[in-house]
Every structure is written in structure tokens, then in C-alpha cells.
Chains A and B, each alone.
Chain A
Amino acid sequence: MPTARLNRLLEAANQIILGKDHEIRLALACVIARGHLLIEDVPGVGKTTLAHTLAQLMGLQFQRIQFTSDLLPADIIGVSIFDRDTSAFRFHPGPVFAQLVLADEINRASPKTQSALLEAMGERQVTADGNTFDLPEPFFVIATQNPAHQVGTFPLPESQLDRFLLRIRLGYPDPLAERALLMGEDRRSLLERHTPALEADDLIALQHAARSVHVAERLIDYVQALLSATRHDAELSAGLSPRAGLGLLSVARAWALMQGRDHVLPEDVQGLFPHLAGHRLHLAGDGRPVTGATLMRLLHAVALP
């Protein structure tokens, strides 16, 4: 039973990352919906640990790329090097060739480098020197960025942000969790003691199962109304794209699957909507990202069919 394994995975993850059950679930839903995740937060709240934990528990190969301003596209996707023995160029795959890639502080790199990764995310393949290389399956990118320090960074353009299915914030742990964290042992060594709860194939099976979760016509109506509300809101510069709509449905399916349900409820959509729309929508006036209050208002403006 994939759900039982999922529960075991969540249980284990909760032991490592304390008090972040909801965020872990969101990240998992994102993986199951075959989307990529953007984590936006200040340093030291456990972004890397979350990525590590997910990779470890899901049994995925893990690569971490620390983005810096001098990082080049070849540093991500790999380079072709002339092989003297065969008298031909041989492609040396870069760190992107992993099942789970953590792109740390993605907004530190130049736009060119950013787009190299983002293209790989979108196409699930890499093209170098005219050759196309498929990325491993499953392929999942967790990118982090620090919203507080924008000096010397290249904020991701809206079109690139659209490639991330969800955006979450971890935030500081609550006092109880923080106390347990301070008193407990090192997370890294704790992590190493855990064996993967899923096989790589299990994840693919889960991804397939999510696709068959039922979506009623009413729910499509509702999602459509929600999308339309974002497009006709005077406060917003632009509405959600059809890609965002598709993403909302697929992540809602994953969420329903994780709840052990065979159909999607409006509550699933409502719960996921802010994470899906938060990084995609911008205010009309100054282009700042929308606040949670605006997203709540949008949700409250759309009646259920």
C-alpha cells in the first residue's frame, strides 16, 4: 500500500524536521504531482535539511548545487570534454543529473545560469553540444531563495517562477519544536540512521495513482471560477496561467491521494491555492508579490458551485 508507506515516510520526516508536518506534506504533494518546489525563507530554518530528508526517505539520488554569481550553465548541466583515447568529445553530466536536485539560493546566479536549470526542469531533458540527454526519472528540483537579502541577486522573472508548482515558506519552528530541536541530536546523523521509506519505483507508482484521482465537473467549475477571479481582479497585474490551473488540479489530486481519498474536494484546492498562486501573482501597482490576505480575499470571493 503506497499510502501506508507514505505515512511511514511522513512519520520519519517529522522526526527529523520538527513541527513542519504541513510543509513536509506540501513538498511531498509537489513531488507526487511531478512539480518542482520553491522554498523561500531566511537561512537556517531547515531548507537544506528538508531537501536532504526527502531525498533520503524517498530513496532518491541527491545533488546539491550552491548557486553563486559566477556559476556557469556548464556547471549545472555538464560539459563535453575531448577524450584523447576515443578522439571524440565525451559528455560529462553535471549535478543536474540526479533525481532530486537542491538548487540552493537560486537567485544568486546570473539569469543565464538560472535559465539553464529552469529549462532542464521544464523539459526534463538537457541539450548540450547538439545532443539531448534525458534526465533521470523521477526528477524533482527544490530551489531555495532568500527573500530578505536582495542585494546582488537576480530575482527570478515571473515566467520562470511559473515553472515551480508550489512555493512554501518554512518559517521559524514553534517554541516546543524548537526546544526539542535544541535538545535533540544532530539532524544529519539522525538522517543517516533512517532507511528510505519508499523505493524510487514507489514514487513513480504514486505519481501514476495521483493522476487517476477523480475530479468532478463541479470542481473543474470551481477551479475555473478561481482562475477567472485572478484574471479579473483589479488589484493584480495578471491572472493565473492555464499551466497554473493544470498544476493546481494535479497537486490537488496528489493531496487527495495523500489523504487517502479517491476524489478532490474544494478544500484541497483552497488549501493549496495560496502556495500555488503566491509566487505567480503580483500586485498591479508596484509589482510586489501578493500577500496572504489578498489570496484569502480571492478565495472568499469565489463561491462554490
Chain B
Amino acid sequence: MILDRLRAHSGKRQKPSAEVLLGRRQGSWLLGTALLTLAPHVSWLPPWIIALCAALLSWRGLLLWRGKQAPPHLLLLLLTVAAAAGVRAEFGHFFGKDPGVALLALLLGLKLLEVRSARDVRATVMLCFFLQLAIFFEDQSLPIAALALCATLLALVSLVTLIDPRGHETGHVRTAATLMAQGLPFMLALFVLFPRIEGPLWGLPADAFSARTGLSETMSPGSISALSTSGAIAFRASFAGSAPAPVQRYWRGPVLSQFDGRSWHAGRVQEAATPFYSPGGERIDYTLTLEAHARRWLLALDFPGTASAEPDPAAGRESGSGALRYTSDYQLLDRQPVHVRARYPLNAYPDTVVGREQSAAILAAARQLPPGFNARTQALAIELAAGASSDAQILQRAIDHLRDAELIYTLDPPLLGTDSVDEFLFDTKRGFCEHFASAFTVLMRAAGVPARVVTGYQGGEINPIDGNLVVRQLDAHAWSEVWLAGRGWVRVDPTYVSAPRRIEEGLAAALPAGESLAFSLGSQNNWARSVRLRWEALSNAWNQRVLGYNPDRQRELLAGLGIQGDDVWVLAGTLMACASALMLALFIWASRKRKAEDALDRAWRRLSKRLARRGLERQPWEGAHDYARRVALAIPELEAAMRTIGDNYARLRYGPEPDAAQVQALIRKIKTLRLP
């Protein structure tokens, strides 16, 4: 009653807040949320959309700073139509995730400009939540996840600020962080228990086949050196034992046996479920984690044994597309192109002798050369072959010749004309590995020795933090294989002849002075190197544990926890049980936060709850005295009883030395109070 008088006294009554204007603080939080939400999208959005979004956000910031409200509706409408038309023109359609997310990003910028009411703020925050999820269509790396988490926190702060517009900022952040922390166990439970879906969850067909960097089925001068600028990771390998020495790390990719004078192409090969050789000798076990490259081939260490013979239960289906295939030129293929990062448990038998028996057709193909090219090389080949007793002798002479020719290994070879091999061997003498491999193979073929080019990766770097071998695009390499009677296909790396450091120490070491790779990759700066190694170990753990959590690993993990069965219902049941347990735990936590209350307080609170059903709930700040009078006014039948209860409760709670008998009597009175 006193409060009512005060309200009148205060003169100005508060306006009903149906239309809350966007305050500067709320606006700033919202703007920050949008900024952090859109930031990671910059990596893939078309430049004009980034520029437009930046302009819209700056505009909003300016309006906030000047304390002005939204620009006129008509202008925003026109902008929206223009933005939609722009997206249509950029992508050609509205379907699929790229145009959809681009449109949403623009709409977020526009929505931000027209935010006026609390409802708008909520809609904007929802849009932000969606865009924070949508970034995972593009990139699922650790920093992106961390960024998305920060953006989610900001979005929550925006919502908290909306509910309590005048409270303290740190309090708001704390509230939002608490909310997020409460959500965390649910997130974990859902992550672990929600039935996993095979393959890319959001891989729409058009998006899944987009081009990626990496090796291809053809090789021409410059095609591999183009990869050397990329520090992107091609694959990782973790060895069961110690890793093989650098000179043994030849990861086989496409084998190229057809030469048209300038480019090398893959020939026709057979595929089979088992290798075209019998593996023997020392065995190396390792797990290959291949980055998506949209091709079928794996990069296997020479020469892969039968993976399906593995008794290991984790093997076989790890890649998700069934058993692997072997080709007659010793490549290892998956059944499907690799569109998501995949793990393969593999083994290798480096000492295996391959291709001792080769058909005449294959050998003839391996001697084929297009007529009319590289006359000087052909002349050199005839010279080398003259008087040689065997192919092995020709090979040795060719290697010796290459060593004496003092060819220079460089990332920046001069352009070559029609007779590329002649020009490289006799004129420019500067080349990258594809020049070496191509020239050597042509030389061998001209001398009548069967030879072919093998592309793949060579080397890689062991990360001392987790012991994994990391192979990057810049480790892409090309070498030759020569067929010798009685020995089969023998690997010859002409790059090794001229630049042995390339093979022994890696690309950065082999490059001549004055040529260098990007700082963190090429330089031997210890500090930067250690940071990079740590970061890559962390990323690998993220890839393996989080992104690589597929149906098989889920099954494995759950089996380890004692939950058996592929049944979706078992999973769903476990999930429900977990979620309920978590809810219960949260509930208990929340109720324990409430102060311990005695019997009188409990009875009093229950009375308030009973009255709440009539719209007469006690406000948290409302004293017993005032509350009892308010109820008495609303329900005249209760007037006397409520006044007594209210007065007595107030006296027993705030008066000196409450009498236990009186407390009991009041509890009884409250409990027996009948609402009319």
C-alpha cells in the first residue's frame, strides 16, 4: 500500500514496455555478436557480400554511436531486394547451402539495422545462432569451433541484456557463461550418444565435389611445383612402431605411363580386391588419416599389404566404403572418392619385389614415346645404350650422366618449349621434381628400358608432440620406376641423384639460397616451429577425436561403456536417460542454491503457490503484510484469515524471539486455509 502511494508520488509512471527501443548497450552486444558470427564466414563468402555485410554492420555501429534508431523501412526493403538479387546473380539459384548461407549473412546485416523491439533482438540472435552453425558447412577446424563458441556466448549475453537491460555487464556475462556451462553436459551427451551419420552430414551433391588441391591424374612441367606453395596438410600417418627413415617415405599416388610429348597421363589399369604381388619382408603398420581430396586413390607407403586380412575389428570399415581395391600398377584405391577426412589402418612391405612377371603389352606401353619430340634426348639415350650388356647397366649410366650434368633443383624453373625434356637436360638445367622424373623416364624409354612416372608424396615431418607424421601438399613429389628383368619394377628417384637433400631433409633444405618457403613452414626458426608443431598436434587430436567420431568409433566407445547393440532405440534410450539425469542434476543444483528454508517458510511459499493459481502470486520483493492485504482485496472472503496470517507471519519472522507454539499454530492455519 505504501508502494502504491510511492508509485503515484514518483509522478512519471513507467510506459508499458511493448516497444522497447534498442539501447546502446544492447545494441553494442548485438553488434558484437553479429560481428563475431560473420567473421569466420569471410573465408568463403564472395567479396561483395563481405563488403556489404561490413558496410551494414558499420552503419548500425554509426547509428548506435550517434544514438539514432533504424533507417526507414522502404530503404531497408529496397536493400533486401537488391541483396537477394545479388545473391541470385552470384550463385545462379537460391538452392543449396552456399547461396542460402550467403543470403542469411546479408539478412543478418539488414535485420540488425531494423532492430527496434525486443522481438527483433530475439530474431536477430536466432539468426546469429543459425549462422554460427552454418560455418561448420565450410570449416570444422578447432579455431572455427572456438570462434563459434565465443559468438554463442555473446549471443547469450545479448539475450540476457534484453531481459535485464540495466544490470551489470559482468553479471550478464556471468549469467550467459553459466547458461552455457549448463548446456555443456547436454552437448557432450548428444555428441557421444546421438546416432552418428555416415559421411558428410551436410554434403549436398553439388558442394561435395568441389575442386580441392592435390595431385591429379596428369603431370606436366609446373603441375607439382604449383603444389609446393601450399602448406595444407595432405594426410597424416601414425606408425605403430617407429617411422621409416625419410628416404623410405615414398607415398604412392597416381602412376603415369602415357606420355604425349608434354604431359604424362595414367594408363589403363586393372583393379582387384587383392594385391598384384605377394607382400613379403619387413612389415610397417600405420594408420593413414587422409584429408578429403575428392579422388579415389589413397597415398599408401610402398607396397601395401592386404588390409582385409587384418583381424583388427577397427579395420576394414573405418573408411566407410568397404574393402580397398588394388591396381595393377600398385596403387591403393578406395571404392568411392574420398570426400571427407578418412582413416585407414594400413600396412606396408617395403622390401616386396613387384612385377617380376609383366606382360609384353605392359612393357611395350612402358617403352612408348611420341615420335618427333626431344631429339637430343633420344640421341643421348642411344649413346648410353650403346654397348650396354643389360638394362641395369643403361640405368647406371643414365644415373651417372644425370649426376654429371649438374642439374639444379629449384622451385622456380624457367618455362619450357615443345621439347621440354631436351630443353631441361641440355639448356636450362633447372627444374623441379616433375622435370627430373619426366626427363629421366623419357631417357630410359628412349634407351629401350621400360619406365614410368609415379606421383605421390615424399617425406613429411614427424610432429614430436604426438609422434605423427604430417605430409603436406608441398611434399608432393614425382619419381620414376624402371622395369628390370629379374628384379621387376625398381624405384629410381632422379631428384635424389641431383638434390639428395630434398629426400633426406625435405623441400626447404634442398632449395638453393634465395628461395624459401612461407615463414612458418620453411624457416628453421625454433620458436615458430614449436608453436606450429604443437598446434598441428592439437588439430590432429581434434580431427581424430571429435571430427573422426564416426559410427564405428561410436559403437566401439559405447561397447567400452557396456552399451551393446546397433539398435537406434538403445542409443535413443541411453540418450534420454542421460539427458534426464543431467536435468535432474541441474534441478538439484538449482534447488540447493535456494536458501535452506524452515517449515514456516515452506508453508508460506506453498500458500503463495496456491494463490498463484488465482493470479495472486507473491512477488519476490513483496512483504507478508502487503501481500496479505493484496490477497484480502482480491478475495474478500479471505480478508480476516489472510490479515491474521500475514501479520502473524511478519511478526514471527521479523519480531523478537518467535514462540515455537505460535509458529506451529501459524503453520497449521496456513495449511488449513481453504480457498473459496
Contact = CB atoms under 8 A, between A and B. Distances in A.
Interface in A3-31: 22
A295 B7 CA distance: 10
A267 B625 contact: yes
Interface in B625-662: 625-626, 650-651, 653-656
B11 interface: yes
A176 to B, nearest CB: 16
A303 B617 CA distance: 14
Given A270-B623, A299-B621, A263 B654 contact: yes
A214 interface: yes
B12 A292 contact: yes
B210 interface: no
Contacts of B674: none
B653 A267 contact: no
Interface residues of B, number: 32
Interface stretch (B77-85, B164-172, B405-413, B439-447): B164-172
Contacts of A303: 620-621
B5 interface: yes
B5 A267 contact: no
A43 interface: no
Interface in A166-189: 169, 171
A289 to B, nearest CB: 12
B3 interface: yes
A302 B7 CA distance: 17
B10 interface: yes
B656 A263 contact: yes
B212 interface: no
Contacts of B2: 267, 270-271
A205 interface: no
A214 B650 CA distance: 13
A265 B625 contact: yes
A296 B654 contact: no
Contacts of A301: 621
A291 B6 CA distance: 11
Given A265-B623, A265-B650, A303-B621, A216 B3 contact: no
Interface string A198-220: 00000000000000001010110
Given A216-B654, A293-B14, A297-B166, A22 B5 contact: yes
Contacts of A22: 5
B662 to A, nearest CB: 14
B622 A304 contact: yes
A192 interface: no
A295 B5 CA distance: 13
Interface in A274-304: 274, 291-293, 295-297, 299-304
A234 B620 CA distance: 21
A218 B3 contact: no
B66 interface: no
A157 B595 CA distance: 41
A75 interface: no
B9 interface: yes
Contact of A267 (B11, B12, B620, B626): B626
Interface string B468-495: 0000000000000000000000000000
A305 B595 contact: yes
Contacts of B651: 263
Nearest to A23: B9
A303 B12 CA distance: 24
B242 interface: no
B525 interface: no
B418 interface: no
A219 B623 CA distance: 11
Given A263-B656, A267-B623, A303-B621, A169 B168 contact: no
B623 A292 contact: no
A148 to B, nearest CB: 13
Contact of A300 (B11, B13, B619, B656): B619
Contacts, number: 88
Nearest to B622: A304
Contacts of A119: none
A139 to B, nearest CB: 28
A263 B658 CA distance: 12
B623 A266 contact: yes
Contact of A304 (B7, B9, B623): B623
A20 to B, nearest CB: 12
B619 A218 contact: no
B169 A234 contact: yes
Interface string A216-241: 10110000000000001111000000
Contact of B166 (A171, A214, A235): A235
Given A270-B623, A302-B621, A304-B620, A296 B7 contact: yes
A137 interface: no
Contacts of B166: 233-235, 297
Contacts of A271: 2-3, 6
B169 A292 contact: no
Interface string B1-29: 01101110111111000000000010000
A139 B120 CA distance: 58
B625 A292 contact: no
Interface string B181-205: 0000000000000000000000000
A83 to B, nearest CB: 52
B167 A292 contact: no
B654 A218 contact: yes
Interface string B143-173: 0000000000000000000000011110100
Nearest to B656: A214
A264 interface: yes
B335 to A, nearest CB: 62
Interface core residue of B9, B169, B171 (most chain A CB under 10 Å)? B9
Given A214-B655, A263-B655, A304-B623, A291 B168 contact: no
A168 B459 CA distance: 86
A305 B604 CA distance: 13
B10 A293 contact: yes
A169 B30 CA distance: 41
Nearest to B14: A293
A234 B167 contact: yes
A292 B6 contact: yes
Nearest to B7: A296
Nearest to A299: B621
Contacts of B621: 270, 299-304
Contacts of A214: 654-656
Interface in B78-94: none
Contacts of A218: 653-654
Nearest to B620: A303
Nearest to A297: B166
B80 to A, nearest CB: 35
A235 B623 CA distance: 25
Given A22-B5, A214-B654, A214-B656, 17 more contacts: A171-B9, A216-B653, A233-B167, A262-B655, A265-B624, A265-B625, A267-B2, A267-B626, A271-B3, A274-B9, A292-B7, A296-B3, A296-B6, A296-B7, A296-B10, A299-B3, A304-B622
16 contacts: A22-B5, A216-B653, A216-B655, A232-B171, A235-B166, A263-B656, A265-B650, A267-B650, A274-B6, A291-B10, A291-B12, A292-B9, A293-B13, A293-B14, A295-B6, A297-B166
